[in-house]
Structure 1
Amino acid sequence: MTVTILSETAVTGLPSASGVEIIGDTAYVIGDDSARLHLLDAATLAPTGQVRLLDAASTASARLPKYDKPDLEGLAAVTWPDGRAGLLLLGSGSLPNRARGWFVPTAEDHLPEALDLAPLYARLRPYLPAGAVLNLEAAATSATELLLFQRTVGRADAAIVFRLPLAATLAFLQSGTAAEAPAVRPLLVQLPSLAGCPAGFSGATFADDLLFVTASVEDTADAVLDGTVLGSFVGLVDLAAQAATFGLLAWADGRAYRGKVEGLAVRRALGPGRWELLLVTDDDAGGSTAVTAELALD
């Protein structure tokens, strides 16, 4: 598998991009330092709107303090239990205040509805290996499942995909735990490494019945503090076979890309075994870029 960068564009006014989902002509982007959901034109990447989630930031581009932010990392398209189409936004859960999320309808009003994720996250923690801190960095939905991706930096034994029944999980979140708690099926995935540092999940999406993921490599063992970024991988996970294939993101001349990829969406299929991807990156200093890349199966 090869993953080649086609272009990279700075996204102004969007601090620390952490997830992206394309629905129709719009690319929806969250930032782990941002109090807003950002809307971009999926083709041109020009900003087209914003949805305020919190009142903490006085301006659209203001960064939330590290220890106050909800640390939004998971973003997935869903149909809410009442039939509305929208987006599920999920905090990482790495600190108590990060067990927050929102359902944002994709209808014109985009009025966000706050969610308490703590009861759901409490059901995930028993499946973590000893010493690992819950740190969800991506989400994806199939027709029947919600997948949540654990990122445990500095170790290779905790790259877990939590598989949850989609309808039951959304009902649990929407009802405020009045519905029956969903069953949890953990799946451990072997991720690649760079310079002895294991990669950690950072983004995920389904397209063409395939599960695309990103995994970035940081030289750190702390779930909250950032480390030096060594590179990023893009891959495909086969849930049935419990196996994954990855390619290192690189420029056309073969140089490895040193940015921290935080999320991905599939723009279009280019042909058999070839896709154009939209990736979003975070430089850990408040900057964000949008990267287009081509994934080609060998």
Structure 2
Amino acid sequence: MGNFTLELLFHIIGIGSASGLFYKENSLLLIGDNSGFLYEYHLDSKALEQYPLIQNPTANIPKSEKPDFESITHFQDTLYIFGSGSTSKRNTMVEFDLNKKKKIKTNNLVDLYAVMQSFGDIKPEDFNLEGAVYDGDNWYLFNRGNGSSNKNTLFTLHAKKLTDEFSLLSNDYKLPKIKGIRSTFTDGVLINDKLYFLATVEDTQSTYDDGAILGSFIGRIDLETMKIDFTKKITSINKFEGITIFSNSKEKIEFLLCEDKDTDELKTAIYKLVLDLK
């Protein structure tokens, strides 16, 4: 893997604590971990729209009450938006129709999350899903190891729907450190047979409380071997929590990243990360 460049592209006013994003047809679909809306930002007009994901949504839900939407993925014309599972109020997965621009189904994943915790040997207080990828046959769900046990786990569920019967695999990873503190998964995206992931370092051992930000990495997991084949530190100051593909060629991959500053300010920074594949 060659060099990289990272640049701030723009800010979006009206979204705080951005935790995931998806780029499609010159629009960005975004979620925030303290918001009850899905947002659509039009890159040409700079217009921002919002669509409710829960009843009586607000843009800044109190921490103890929020659904904690941390992961967003898509297949065909449907978005899948996951709560982190880190508390009993964060077990929701919302399906959203990209054509009709409306929520079509809300799923309670409490039973599935309990199975994943048991299978992956993760204590409930250390369970914190922050990345999701769906390819039509398999769901790849990233547990962020920011609890006391530091369990960075990739779950692979083979099923068309999460309400169907499924087979389940889990793989644990030791991610790189900054200042002696191990980084933790925050999102992922699929390109061919590789999962590109973000990992960030916070000085905390809690899935609930935030800590000082020490930096972020990008890395890649080969789905044939389920091994990490590279990691690269991309910043010492940013906590990147969302990644989406902007463009992809043989020479380079361009990603868009969103940053969570863990504040109530309704302002989100969007960055472009370019990885040189030559």
- The normalised TM-score by structure 1 is 0.85
**Which residue is 1:252 aligned to?**
none
**Which residue is 2:94 aligned to?**
102
**Which residue is 2:233 aligned to?**
248
Residue 46 of structure 2 aligns with an amino acid whose one-letter code is A
Take 1:202 and 1:10, find their aligned partners in 2: how far apart are those partners? 20
Q: What is the DSSP-based 3-state SS (H/G/I as helix, E as strand, rest coil) of the residue aligned with 2:15? A: coil
**Which residue is 1:281 aligned to?**
259
Take 2:49 and 2:147, find their aligned partners in 1: how far apart are those partners? 37
Q: 1:262 to 1:45 in 2, by over 3 A?
A: farther
Q: 2:119 matched to 1:127?
A: yes
Partner residue of 1:69 out of 66, 85, 102: 66
Stretches of structure 1 lacking an aligned partner (at least 5 in a row): 80-84, 173-178, 250-255
Take 2:121 and 2:82, find their aligned partners in 1: how far apart are those partners? 22
Q: Report the alpha carbon displacement of residue 130 of structure 1 after superposing the two structures with TM.
A: 5.7
Q: 2:171 matched to 1:187?
A: yes
**Which residue is 2:155 aligned to?**
162
**Which residue is 1:226 aligned to?**
210
Q: What is the DSSP-based 3-state SS (H/G/I as helix, E as strand, rest coil) of the residue aligned with 2:16? A: coil
Q: What is the DSSP-based 3-state SS (H/G/I as helix, E as strand, rest coil) of the residue aligned with 2:89? A: helix
Q: 1:112 to 1:17 in 2, by over 3 A?
A: farther
1:115-145 Cα deviation digits (max 9, x unpaired)? 1111211110113446562100010122421
Structure with a larger share of its residues in strand: 2
Q: 1:104 to 1:130 in 2, by over 3 A?
A: closer
Q: Report the alpha carbon displacement of residue 157 of structure 1 after superposing the two structures with TM.
A: 5.1
Q: What is the DSSP-based 3-state SS (H/G/I as helix, E as strand, rest coil) of the residue aligned with 1:119? A: helix
CA RMSD of aligned residues (A): 2.1
**Which residue is 1:50 aligned to?**
50
Q: What is the DSSP-based 3-state SS (H/G/I as helix, E as strand, rest coil) of the residue aligned with 1:124? A: helix
**Which residue is 2:194 aligned to?**
210
Are 2:126 and 2:206, in contact at CA under 8 Å, matched by a contact in 1?
no
Q: Report the alpha carbon displacement of residue 49 of structure 1 after superposing the two structures with TM.
A: 1.8
Q: 2:75 matched to 1:78?
A: yes
Take 2:47 and 2:11, find their aligned partners in 1: how far apart are those partners? 12
Partner residue of 1:147 out of 127, 140, 164: 140
Take 2:161 and 2:18, find their aligned partners in 1: how far apart are those partners? 29
Q: 1:159 to 1:44 in 2, by over 3 A?
A: farther
Q: 1:248 to 1:156 in 2, by over 3 A?
A: farther
Are 1:229 and 1:260, in contact at CA under 8 Å, matched by a contact in 2?
yes
Q: 1:186 to 1:126 in 2, by over 3 A?
A: same
Q: 1:3 to 1:67 in 2, by over 3 A?
A: farther
Q: Report the alpha carbon displacement of residue 265 of structure 1 after superposing the two structures with TM.
A: 0.5
Are 1:53 and 1:112, in contact at CA under 8 Å, matched by a contact in 2?
no
Are 1:154 and 1:198, in contact at CA under 8 Å, matched by a contact in 2?
no
Residue 140 of structure 1 aligns with an amino acid whose one-letter code is V
Take 2:45 and 2:130, find their aligned partners in 1: how far apart are those partners? 23
**Which residue is 1:91 aligned to?**
83
Take 1:269 and 1:117, find their aligned partners in 2: how far apart are those partners? 33
Percent of aligned pairs with the same residue? 26
Q: 2:256 matched to 1:263?
A: no
Q: Report the alpha carbon displacement of residue 261 of structure 1 after superposing the two structures with TM.
A: 0.2
Take 2:111 and 2:137, find their aligned partners in 1: how far apart are those partners? 21
Are 2:126 and 2:151, in contact at CA under 8 Å, matched by a contact in 1?
no
Q: 1:264 to 1:44 in 2, by over 3 A?
A: farther
Q: 1:47 to 1:248 in 2, by over 3 A?
A: farther
1:225-245 Cα deviation digits (max 9, x unpaired)? 000010011111112222211
Q: Report the alpha carbon displacement of residue 68 of structure 1 after superposing the two structures with TM.
A: 0.3
Greater mean deviation of Cα atoms: 108-117 or 189-198: 108-117
Take 1:227 and 1:288, find their aligned partners in 2: how far apart are those partners? 19
Aligned length: 273
Take 1:146 and 1:229, find their aligned partners in 2: how far apart are those partners? 29
Stretches of structure 2 lacking an aligned partner (at least 5 in a row): none
Residue 215 of structure 1 aligns with an amino acid whose one-letter code is A
